[in-house]
Amino acid sequence: MYSDKVIDHFTNPRNVGVIIDADGVGEKVSASCGDRMKVFLKVVDGVIEDLKFQTYGCGAAIASSSMMSELVIGKTLDEALALTNDAVAEALDGLPDPKLHCSNLAADALHDAIKNYKEEGA
């Protein structure tokens, strides 16, 4: 049902935590299942230097958050904004259809954090 990458990112999630002095924070909650993702960004010269996340949800949600973090650390804000829901799922070697909303939450929470960063006058 789940790929080896999903299982790896669920059992060994990368970049879990909080950035106390984050430059941008975004949060999304799934209306369908209640999964919650919060993303914290540290941005230097338009590049995501660090990203931490907190996820309350299923294994696919945790794996999606972890993979999203790996995909965007070191990228520019524009490159990170281009990250799609599908790209997160593809990087995990796919998710079952009922769990695709998890990859949506990860990308959407990231996009919210970038929006928050830009609104705060970065």
pLDDT (tens digit per residue) in 75-85: 999 999 999 98
Average pLDDT over residues 7-33: 93
The percentage of the chain sitting over the pLDDT mark of 70, rounded to a whole number, equals 94
Domain range annotation of the chain: 4-121
Q: Mean pLDDT across the chain, nearest whole number?
A: 91
Average pLDDT over residues 23-34: 89
Question: Which sequence positions are flagged as catalytic?
Answer: 33, 102
Q: Is the pLDDT of residue 31 over 90?
A: no
DSSP string, the chain: ---HHHHHHHHS-SSBS--TT-SEEEEEE-TTT--EEEEEEEEETTEEEEEEEEEES-HHHHHHHHHHHHHHTTSBHHHHHT--HHHHHHHTT---GGGHHHHHHHHHHHHHHHHHHHHTT-
Which residues share a beta bridge with 16? 53
Q: Is the pLDDT of residue 101 over 70?
A: no
Question: What pTM did the predictor assign?
Answer: 0.92
Residue partners of 81: CB distance under 8 A and separation at least 6: 111, 114
| CATH of 4-121 given 3.90.1010.10, 1.10.240.10, 3.40.50.720, 1.10.3720.10 | 3.90.1010.10
The residue assigned the tokens 């705060």 is 120
pLDDT for 43-75, tens place per residue?
A: 999 999 999 999 998 888 999 999 999 999 999
